[in-house]
Each structure stands twice: as C-alpha cells, then as structure tokens.
C-alpha cells in the first residue's frame, strides 16, 4: 500500500505501523512537497494500521496542521485505536485538531 493517496483535493496519509523518529522525517518531506506543488484542501492522517506513535509523530502532525491552517485547509485524523487516541489526548493535540473518527469516503 502506498502511504500517500490523492482523492480529489484530499491527501490521505496512510500512516505506518510505527510512527516514530525513524520514519517521520521522510514522511514530512513527502507531504510538504505535495502541499507546496498541488492543490490540497483536506489532509487526512489515517491511523488504521498504526499501533505506536512517539513525540516525533505528534510533532509531524502538529506541523502539518499549522501548514493546513495557513492554507485555509482542513485536517482530519481518522481510524485511531485506543492507544493512539490516548497519545493524541495526552499530547494536547485535541486542542487543535478534532479527534472524531471520520468514516472512509
């Protein structure tokens, strides 16, 4: 499965099993490259296959949120398991990004 998927003006990021410092930098570069060159009004982070996330993952998500806000775009977080939801809540990310699960379109 490809990590990045386009559906119209939505970019869906299918996150890996472990979202840690080993993969976030490359993922960040790829997402930012697309956001700079192509029209994206919605950015979705799909956690359906993710079981672990560290602070590098939280930072990557918050950084993309700031970019989408500057672009007047919308950011979605979908398909979180209980552990990922707990990390998102403890990190305070819910103060910026709604954590409601969005169903697949």
- Tell me the domain boundaries of the chain: 4-95
What is each CA distance from 6 to 1, 3, 39, 97, in whole angstroms? 13, 10, 10, 21
What pLDDT, in 10s, does the model give residues 30-50?
999 999 999 999 999 999 999
- In 38-72, which residue ranges form alpha helices assigned H by DSSP? 55-70
Give the Å distances, CA to CA, from 7 to 11, 25, 46, 70, 90.
Answer: 6, 24, 13, 21, 31
DSSP readout, 9-36? TEEEEE--SEESHHHHHHHHHHHHHHHH
Instruction: Please state, in angstroms and rounded to a whole number, the distance separating the CA atoms of residues 28 and 36.
Output: 12
Q: What tokens appear for 52 in the block? A: 């672990």
We find that the CATH architecture of domain 4-95 is 2-Layer Sandwich (3.30)
CA dist 80 and 99 (Å) reads: 9
What pLDDT does 32 receive?
97
Each residue's pLDDT, cut to its tens digit, for the chain (105 residues) gives 478 999 999 999 999 999 999 999 999 999 999 999 999 999 999 999 999 999 999 999 999 999 999 999 999 899 999 999 899 889 888 787 766 655 443
pTM value is 0.88
């Amino acid at each position: 499965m490809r990590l990045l998927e386009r559906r119209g003006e939505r970019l869906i990021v299918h996150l890996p099993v472990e979202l840690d410092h080993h993969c976030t930098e490359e993922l960040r570069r790829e997402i930012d490259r697309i956001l700079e060159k192509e029209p994206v009004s919605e950015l979705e982070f799909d956690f359906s296959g993710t079981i672990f996330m560290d602070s590098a993952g939280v930072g990557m998500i918050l950084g993309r949120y700031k970019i989408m806000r500057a672009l007047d775009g919308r950011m979605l977080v979908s398909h979180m398991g209980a552990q990922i939801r707990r990390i998102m809540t403890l990190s305070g990310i819910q103060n910026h990004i709604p954590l409601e699960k969005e169903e697949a379109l």
